[in-house]
Structure 1
Amino acid sequence: MYQAMTALGVAAESPYTGPIRLDGDPRGASVLILGAGLAGLVAALELKRAGYRVQVLEYNDRAGGRCWTVRGGDRITELGGETQDCRFDEGHYINPGPWRIPYHHHAVLDYCKRLGVTLEPFVQVNHNALVHGRTAFGGRPQRYRTVMSDYQGGIAELLAKATRQNRLDGMVSREDAEILLESLRSWGALNRDLTYAKSVLTSDRRGFERDPGGGLTARPVPSDPVALKDVLSSRLWSYLATGAIYEFQTTMFQPVGGMDMIARAFAREVGDLIRYNAKVTAIRQDASGVTATVADARGGGQPEQVRADWCLCTIPLAVLAQMELNVSAKMQAAIEAVPYSASVKVGLQFKRRFWEQDEHIYGGISYTDLPIRMISYPSTGYGAAGKGVLLGAYAFGPYAYEFTALPAAERVRRAVEWGATLHPQYREEFESGVSVGWHRVPGNLGCHGMWTDARREEHYDALCALDGRILLAGEHASYIPAWQEGAILSSLDAIGRLHRRVVNA
C-alpha cells in the first residue's frame, strides 16, 4: 500500500511554508464548518482570527476526528451498537488513527509549535525488532538486523564477484569498478576476499553469538550468517524497505501523551465555536447561503436548521455520499467516486514491558505475515517498571474486514494468539485490549480515501472546487491521503480560496 501511495506521487515534501495570511475584511461573513477533525479545526482557528463568524458542527462528543487517543475509562461504540470499555491503566493509551508525524510534514509540526504541543521521537525502524513469516525459518521470528545484514551482504558479494570477473564491462569503467568494489566492501560488510562470511566484521552488523565483554570473558564470538538463498526464499526482505520510504524516514515524531494532544490544543483555541453530538443529515445551499439540518447524535429532540453564508464540509466522503446534498453533478460524482480503506488497530496492555526486559526492543515495529501484520512498541517510557501497551495489530484490506467481522473480544483474543507467535510472553502477561475497525466507526466509515490515478484525473479538481457556497476539505481532498498533513493543507487551500471570494465579492 505504501509503495502504491508513493507511486501515485504522494511521497513529496509538504509545500507548507508558514501560517496562512487572510488579508482583507470579510465584513462579518459567516462560515459553517462541518466536522471538527484537523481540517475543520484549522479552518475554525484561521477563519476566526481573520474576523469571520464561525460555527462548527461535530458528530462526536470530542474534537479531532481520526486524531484520536483511547485511554482507560473511554468507551468505544461501533455500528450495530457493540461497545468496548477501555481498561488501560492511567498513563497508557493507543492512537487508533494517526500515530506518527514525519519530519517533513511541516504544517503539522508548525501548528504543534504554535499551539504548544510537546513532541517526542517516534521510532519507526528498530534493528533489534523482529521480522516473521509463517513458512520462513520454520516459523521462528528473526531479528531485523540479521535479515538486513545477510541480505545486503549476500547481494554485495554477488555483485563484487561479477565485478571482479569483468561481467560489468560496458556498464562501468575500470576506475568505477574499483570504486564499486570499495563501496560494496563497506555497504555489505565484505571480508578482504570479498565474501560475506562469519567474522567480527559481519557480526558487527548482524550481531554476535557472544557480545564483546570485559575481563576473562571479553572475547566476542562471531555469529553465522544465513545463506543468501535462504534469505531470499524467506521473503522477509520485503519488510526492509519500509523504513526507506519517504513517509517513514527518520526522524518521526509523536505528541507526548497521545496524538489527541493536537486536537485538544486546537479545542482550547476554538472550543467555544464547536457544537458536539451534532449529526448533520442534510446540506442545502441557495443563492444567499447554506443550511444544514442537524439532529442530536445521542437521539431525541427535533432536527433543526443551522445557516451561514458559506460552508466548509470536512465530513468523510463515505458518510457525505449518503447525505442529502445539493451540489453540482460533478462534485456529487466526485464524492461518490472515492472508496474508503478498511483498517483495524488493536491495543494490548501487558503486566510488564517484557519486550524491553526480555528482548531489549525499545520502540520500533516488528513485522509478520500473520493477520495482525505488525506489532509496534511504545516509543516512550523506556525502562519503566510496571505495565505497558503495545499496538498489537495494524491491518488493512481483507485482514481488516476479517478482524472487524468478529466481536470485539474475539478480535483482541486473536491478536493475543497471533502475537504470541512472535512473543510467547503474551500468554502470561496479557491483561486487556481494545480494537478499532475504521469502517465500523460511525461518522467515518473508513480509514482514508483511496485514490487512483484515474480517479484523480476524473474527479479530484471537481471535489476540491468551490461549488456555489460549499467547499470540501480533509485528507481525501489532498495528495497526501491518510495523513494529518493532507487534511491541514487541504483546509488551508480551501479557506484561502474562500477568503479571496468573500473579500473580492
Structure 2
Amino acid sequence: MDTTTILEMSQLSNFQKGKRITILGAGIAGLVAAYELERMGHEVDIMEASPRIGGRIWTHRFGNEPDAPYAELGAMRIPSAHQHTLHYVHKLGLSDKLCKFVTVFEEQNAFMNIQGKIFRMKDAPRILQERYQGIFTDSRYSEKTRLFAAWLKTIVDTISPGNLRESLEQDLQSHLMDELERLDLEPYFSEDGENIDLQSFIKDNPGFRARCSKAVDMFLSDILVETSHDLLQLKGGMDQLIQRLVQSIKAPIKCNQQIVAIRVHEDYTEIDWLENGQRYTRRCDYVLCTIPFSILRKMELSGFDDRKLDSIQNTIYCPATKVAFHTKEAFWQQQGINGGASFSGDGVRQTYYPSVNFNPNSGSVMLASYTIGDDADRLGNMSEEQRHSYVKNVVSQVHPELQSSDMVTNVASIAWGNYKWSDGGCTVHWKDDMSDEANYSINYLEAARPQNTLFFAGEHCSRYPAWLQGSIESALEAIYDIVSSKPALITATKYSLKNETEKSLQQLTTSKA
C-alpha cells in the first residue's frame, strides 16, 4: 500500500467517524498514527511509559542554545528510497533541513585500526595485503579475487557483530573464494583499483548472496543500506520530526504512564497502567500498541491467541550502544576528515564524524562509538563512567588529541539493549544460530496481525526493521485497519443474518426440489 493511497483514507473513514483510539507509545509510529487519525476526524489518547517523547529518535544537544552541537543517540539517517519517511519530512515543513549524510567508507581520509595498525581508508588496499595473509598468499586465486575478498571482509568486520564476522570468515574459507574467482570482478573496482562497489556487485550477482550463510546473507541487506551514497539527515537534529508531529497533534501526550497489562475482549480492550505509584484500568474501544515486543512480553497479557503470543515472545532484538563526545573543536577536519566514519578498533567499532557544521564557538561532536550485537552488549554492561573512559582510550589510539585535558568537554551515551523502555536497539532478521531459520526469522505480518480491537505498529511490524520507514509504514497500515474496522456487535449481527438468510434459501431450494 503506497503513501498516497493510505493518506487519502478520509473517504474510507466517512462512514464511521468519531472512533476513539488509545495509542500506546509516543515514538514515531504512535505519533504518525495520532496525526493521521485526528486528520480523519477520530479522537486519540496517547500514553507513553517513559518520561520523554520520541522513542528511538533521540537527539542529544550539548547546550541550550538553538545552534548547540548535537549527537544522534538514536535514528540518524534516512535512505533516499524511504519515501514514507520523506513524505513526513516534506509535509511537516522540514525539506530545507535535508542534507547528505556522509557514511562509512565514503571519507577516504578516515582511519582504520586493525590490530593496532592505524592507516587511512585510502591506504587500505596496501595494508589489507599485509593484514590478511591467508587470503593474499593463496596462489589458487587471482589478485582481484583476493583483494575483493579482503575488502568484503573489511566492510563486514567494520559494521557487523562478532558472530557474523566469524560466519563470513568461514564462508570465505569453505567456498566463497571459489565463487568470487569464477565471477568477473573488474567492473566493481574503482578506476585506481583500490576500492570496490559492493552495491553494484550484490545487485548484479544475487547468486553470491545465495551462497552465503543465511545470517551473512540477511545482514548484507543492512550493509548495502548503511554503505550507500544516498543517505540523508536532518540538519539541526532528527528530533525536529518528532517536534513537528507533536505540534500538529491536538491530543495531549501523557508520559510516565507505564502499561502493565493488556486484556483483549471480543469488542473492547482493557489496559492497566501505573502512574505515580497507583494502578489504573481503562476500557478502550480501540488500542494501537506500538510498544516493542521486548517490553510487551513482560506484561500481563490475556485474550491473545497462541500464534500472537509466540510472535511476541520470539521476535529478536539486537542491542545497540552509542557514545558521543562533545569536543572543544573539530580537530579531525585538520586531518582532512569531513564526515564519514573511522573504524577505531575492536569494542568500539565505528566512529562517526558530523557531516554538518556547528557553531565553532560551541565546539563540535563526534559519535565516538556506534556498536551493535555483542560489542554493544559489552559496552552496555559497563557503568557509564567505565564506558566513556573505555571508548575514549580506544578512540585515542586513532585520535590522540582526545587525551588533551580540555578536548572532551562532555559525554553522552545510551545502551539501548539495557534501556528500560526498549530493551533492544531494533529487531533483526539474523541471529547467532540460524540453523532453525523458521524460529529465528521475523514474521512481520504476524507481528502486525491485530487481536480483535487491539492493533500493532512499530519497526518490529514492518519490512524495514531498524528504520523510521518501517515504523511509519506499519503505523499507516494499522490506521487503515482501524478505520475500516467495524464494531464486533455489528459484525456478529451481520454474520448471524447472513447465516439465517443462507439457511432460508437452502430450505427454499430443498422444498422446491
Please tell me the TM-score bracket, short chain as reference. 0.7 to 0.9
Structure 1 residue matching 2:325: 3-state secondary structure: strand
Shift of 1:159: 5.3
Find the counterpart in structure 1 of residue 421 from structure 2: 443
Q: CA RMSD in A?
A: 3.3
Structure 2 residue matching 1:147: 3-state secondary structure: helix
Find the counterpart in structure 2 of residue 78 from structure 1: none
Is it true that 1:502 corresponds to 2:486 in the alignment? yes
Q: Distance in 2 between matches of 1:18 and 1:129?
A: 43
Q: TM-score normalised to the size of structure 1?
A: 0.73
Q: 1:89 to 1:346 in 2, by over 3 A?
A: farther
Q: Distance in 2 between matches of 1:458 and 1:398?
A: 20
Q: Distance in 1 between matches of 2:457 and 2:322?
A: 25
Alignment of 1:30-179 (within 5 A): 30-72=20-62, 91-117=68-94, 118-124=97-103, 125-134=106-115, 139-147=116-124, 158=143
Find the counterpart in structure 2 of residue 344 from structure 1: 321
Shift of 1:59: 1.4
Q: 1:157 to 1:188 in 2, by over 3 A?
A: farther
Deviates more, 1:37-46 or 1:270-279: 270-279
Query: Is the contact between residue 327 and residue 409 of structure 2 (CA under 8 Å) also seen in structure 1?
Result: yes
Find the counterpart in structure 2 of residue 230 from structure 1: none
Find the counterpart in structure 1 of residue 465 from structure 2: 481
Q: Distance in 2 between matches of 1:473 and 1:56?
A: 14
Find the counterpart in structure 2 of residue 425 from structure 1: 401
Query: Is the contact between residue 149 and residue 188 of structure 1 (CA under 8 Å) also seen in structure 2?
Result: no
Shift of 1:64: 1.2
Is it true that 1:21 corresponds to 2:2 in the alignment? no
Q: Distance in 1 between matches of 2:222 and 2:192?
A: 20
Find the counterpart in structure 2 of residue 274 from structure 1: 253
Find the counterpart in structure 1 of residue 333 from structure 2: 356
Shift of 1:158: 3.8
Letter aligned with residue 342 of structure 1? P
Find the counterpart in structure 2 of residue 224 from structure 1: none
Q: 1:406 to 1:458 in 2, by over 3 A?
A: closer
Shift of 1:141: 1.7
Among 245, 270, 273, which residue is 2:224 paired with? 245
Query: Is the contact between residue 23 and residue 289 of structure 2 (CA under 8 Å) also seen in structure 1?
Result: yes
Query: Is the contact between residue 44 and residue 251 of structure 2 (CA under 8 Å) also seen in structure 1?
Result: no
Alignment of 1:166-315 (within 5 A): 187-189=190-192, 245-270=224-249, 272-296=251-275, 299-300=276-277, 302-315=278-291
Shift of 1:142: 1.4
Shift of 1:431: 2.0
Letter aligned with residue 269 of structure 1? S
Q: Distance in 2 between matches of 1:254 and 1:246?
A: 14
Shift of 1:377: 0.3
Shift of 1:65: 0.5
Q: Distance in 1 between matches of 2:114 and 2:395?
A: 12
Shift of 1:283: 1.3
Among 458, 462, 465, which residue is 2:449 paired with? 465
Query: Is the contact between residue 85 and residue 472 of structure 2 (CA under 8 Å) also seen in structure 1?
Result: yes
Q: Distance in 1 between matches of 2:33 and 2:372?
A: 30
Q: 1:140 to 1:473 in 2, by over 3 A?
A: same
Shift of 1:384: 3.6
Q: Distance in 2 between matches of 1:383 and 1:28?
A: 48
Q: Distance in 1 between matches of 2:68 and 2:25?
A: 28
Query: Is the contact between residue 338 and residue 455 of structure 1 (CA under 8 Å) also seen in structure 2?
Result: no
Structure 1 residue matching 2:484: 3-state secondary structure: helix
Q: 1:329 to 1:342 in 2, by over 3 A?
A: same
- Structure 2, unaligned stretches of length 5 or more? 130-134, 146-181, 196-219, 431-436, 492-513
Q: Distance in 1 between matches of 2:222 and 2:333?
A: 21
Letter aligned with residue 361 of structure 1? I
Deviates more, 1:88-97 or 1:464-473: 88-97
Structure 1 residue matching 2:251: 3-state secondary structure: helix
Aligned length: 405
Shift of 1:396: 1.6
Q: Distance in 2 between matches of 1:383 and 1:140?
A: 34
- Aligned-residue sequence identity (percent) comes to 28
Query: CA deviation digits over 1:462-494, x for unaligned, max 9?
Result: 322121111111001112111111111111112
Q: Distance in 2 between matches of 1:270 and 1:343?
A: 30
